Amino acid sequence: MHAVSSNGANIPALGFGTFRMSGAEVLRILPQALKLGFRHVDTAQIYGNEAEVGEAIQKSGIPRADVFLTTKVWVDNYRHDAFIASVDESLRKLRTDHVDLLLLHWPGSDVPMAERIGALNEVRNAGKVRHIGISNFNTTQMEEAARLSDAPIATNQVEYHPYLDQTKVLQTARRLGMSLTSYYAMANGKVPADPLLTEIGGRHGKTAAQVALRWLVQQQDVIVLSKTATEARLKENFAIFDFALTREEMAAVRELARPNGRIVNPQGLAPEWDA
């Protein structure tokens, strides 16, 4: 598996995401993911499964240094003291003395951006976090975060799939030295049944889902999170580095984007998205 280098962070291009996974599901499927070869694991305070993620990694037999571990601070914890305490709690749950990447989960908050970014830098300077990042930020907020931070911002984790054009966010990320980490790559179940993706997959002996994942990681500076609770789909998601899409196929998938392609847009948390 290749890795994406962004502002000093070397992030495995394919990650295992745990959004909406119960603790029991994490304990069942994450050990299989690690055994298969996944080395990038993504969780968050609000997911409620950090403890199980930590347990699975600790019991996997894989050295902690070989696993790139990401978690995210929830918006209720953005005030300085709550932020620091929440990171310490996350580390306890994750059974580790540091995470490889810590993100601000959503931009929606009345806490000044400077306070949030300052807290990110503080935990990084304390050695609790190797790299810092953001999630669900628009391009203006990306610029602001980069300007306010002493440490480089490694990534912006956002919704990204064939039906949502994220060109502006990706261009801004590249200019700032960041990567873009894609979540919701399956577009809430739309991808596996897509006729074009299925047709392209047929040429390569791959599924529509594999085509979408490949399309994402084949783009410069893009990382993708895959998520499943089934072992068969786990193996399918992992097998995306033994083929490549042609330039024409990449362009054809890009044409699937549409103005109403966004799925995740929670009121009060989401920013005003780039047009």
> Can you give the CATH number for the domain in which 175 is found?
3.20.20.100
H or E element: which one contains 227?
Answer: none
Whether 94 is in a domain gets the answer yes
As beta bridge partners, residue 222 has: 180
Whether 230 is in a domain gets the answer no
Looking at residue 1, its pLDDT comes to: 76
Contacts of the segment 112-119: beta carbons below 8 A, 24+ positions apart: 113/141, 113/144, 113/145, 113/148, 114/148, 115/78, 115/79, 115/80, 116/78, 116/83, 117/145, 117/148, 117/149, 118/80, 118/148, 119/78, 119/80, 119/83, 119/84
Whether 104 is in a domain gets the answer yes
**What is the mean pLDDT, run by run of 10 residues, along the chain of 275 residues?**
93 98 97 98 98 98 97 98 98 98 98 98 98 98 98 98 98 98 97 98 98 98 95 95 98 97 98 96
Q: Is 80 annotated as a binding residue?
A: no
Whether 139 is in a domain gets the answer yes
Structural domain including 84 reads 10-188
Looking at residue 132, its pLDDT comes to: 98
246 Cβ contact partners less than 8 Å away, ≥ 6 residues apart: none
Judge whether 47 counts as a catalytic residue.
yes
The count of domains in the chain is 1
Looking at residue 85, its pLDDT comes to: 98
pLDDT tens string 78-112:
999 999 999 999 999 999 999 999 999 999 999 99
Count CB atoms within 10 A of the CB of residue 10. Answer: 12
User: CA Rg, the chain, in Å?
Assistant: 18
pLDDT tens string 8-47:
999 999 999 999 999 999 999 999 999 999 999 999 999 9
∠245-249-254 over CA atoms, to 5°? 115
Whether 49 is in a domain gets the answer yes
